[in-house]
């Protein structure tokens, strides 16, 4: 993966973030979160989509197609296209519930996957002004500065984050018992609302671990590579080193075993 392509991706995702704000214009400033004034609907029960999701994904598809001609796409709103050997994995707004409530923790997530391996990743939080970028084998940055996961070595001294997509899905087996077990052993817990950003915060050392159930690949593909390139690790709940959206645990590596012991 060339540095030129990485720079192109960074420029495209910055532009997509600007589009998300420009698309609403004054509405984003004056009515952000006033659902009655926004075109917000449920794709499925408790799963929101807005016109901004659709507009940003359309823009990304158009721009990214020019960077890697012939590449396929796996987008939250447009689904899967034919070419799966090389494809862009896109979440135009990860954290739509936060978005429509005028909260800052939502992001645009883009990853390039080649033969099943994520080679390039970008997560942009427009309201936070944070751009996370990683290239496989080349490290990770936030706003151009190198980042590194934390050096915390004990769960008792750790801050962790999680999410509850499993509750929205109505699953009988959910994250609440697991959260209770882990939270009791930690110094602090957080719930931010964007899995892509959650993984980036672990990569940046702001929290020490993140786990969640029942996500989709477009939620975590970019964030997982960013965390791995920042010195962290991504495993499933059995400790296997795979990026599994149905059960993902991202840590600074040091506290992985302690958390895994509490998973079941």
Q: Which domains does the chain have, with CATH numbers?
A: 3-146 (3.30.540.10), 155-260 (3.40.190.80)
Structure tokens at 105: 């923790």
Q: What is the pLDDT of residue 22?
A: 64
Structure tokens at 53: 């999701």
Contact of 258 with 211, CB cutoff 8 Å? no
- pTM of the predicted model over 0.85: yes
CA quadruple 96, 13, 232, 225: dihedral sign: positive
Q: What is the pLDDT of residue 23?
A: 60
C-alpha distances out from residue 24 to 12, 56, 122, 226, Å:
19, 11, 23, 29
Structure tokens at 134: 């990683």
Q: What is the DSSP string of 23-87?
A: HHTHHHHHSTT-GGGS-EEEEETTEEEEHHHHHHHHHHHHHHHHHSTT-EEEETTTEE-S--SEE
Q: What is the pLDDT of residue 257?
A: 98
pLDDT in tens, the chain (264 residues): 567 777 777 777 777 766 666 664 333 334 345 555 556 655 555 556 677 778 778 888 888 888 888 899 998 877 888 777 999 999 988 998 888 888 899 998 999 999 999 999 999 888 888 999 999 999 999 999 999 999 999 999 999 999 998 777 677 788 999 999 999 999 999 999 999 999 999 999 999 999 999 999 999 999 999 999 999 999 999 999 999 999 999 999 999 999 999 999
Which DSSP category does 174 fall into?
A: -
Residue owning tokens 């939250």: 76
Identify the three-state secondary structure at position 131.
strand
Q: How far apart are CA 9 and CA 39, in angstroms?
A: 29
User: Which residues are within 8 A (CB) of 152 and not within 5 positions of it... i.e. 6 or more apart?
Assistant: 158, 208, 252, 254, 255
Q: What is the pLDDT of residue 126?
A: 83
Q: What is the pLDDT of residue 31?
A: 39
Contact of 180 with 160, CB cutoff 8 Å? no
CA quadruple 52, 58, 63, 68: dihedral sign: positive
Structure tokens at 234: 């991504």
Q: How far apart are CA 65 and CA 69, in angstroms?
A: 5
């Amino acid at each position: 993966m060339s540095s030129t392509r990485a720079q192109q991706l960074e420029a495209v995702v910055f532009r997509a973030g600007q589009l998300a704000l420009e698309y609403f214009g004054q509405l984003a400033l004056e009515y952000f979160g006033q659902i009655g004034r926004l075109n917000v609907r449920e794709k499925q029960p408790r799963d929101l989509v807005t016109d901004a999701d659709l507009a940003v994904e359309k823009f990304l598809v158009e721009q990214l197609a020019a960077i890697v001609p012939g590449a396929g796409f796996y987008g939250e709103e447009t689904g899967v296209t034919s070419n799966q050997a090389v494809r862009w994995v896109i979440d135009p707004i990860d954290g739509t519930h936060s978005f429509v409530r005028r909260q800052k923790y939502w992001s645009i997530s883009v990853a390039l996957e080649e033969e099943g391996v994520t080679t390039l990743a970008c997560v942009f939080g427009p309201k936070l002004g944070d751009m996370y970028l990683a290239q496989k084998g080349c490290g990770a940055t936030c706003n151009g500065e190198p980042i590194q996961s934390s050096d915390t070595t004990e769960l008792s001294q750790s801050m962790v984050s999680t999410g509850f997509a499993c509750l929205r899905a109505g699953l009988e087996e959910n994250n609440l018992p697991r959260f209770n077990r882990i939270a009791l052993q930690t110094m602090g817990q957080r719930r931010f609302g964007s899995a892509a950003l959650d993984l980036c915060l672990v990569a940046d050392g702001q929290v020490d671990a993140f786990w969640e159930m029942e996500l989709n690949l477009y939620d975590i593909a970019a964030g997982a590579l960013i965390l791995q390139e920042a010195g962290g690790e991504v495993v499933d709940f059995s400790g296997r080193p795979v990026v599994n959206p149905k059960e993902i645990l991202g840590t600074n590596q040091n506290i992985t075993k302690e958390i895994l012991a509490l998973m079941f």
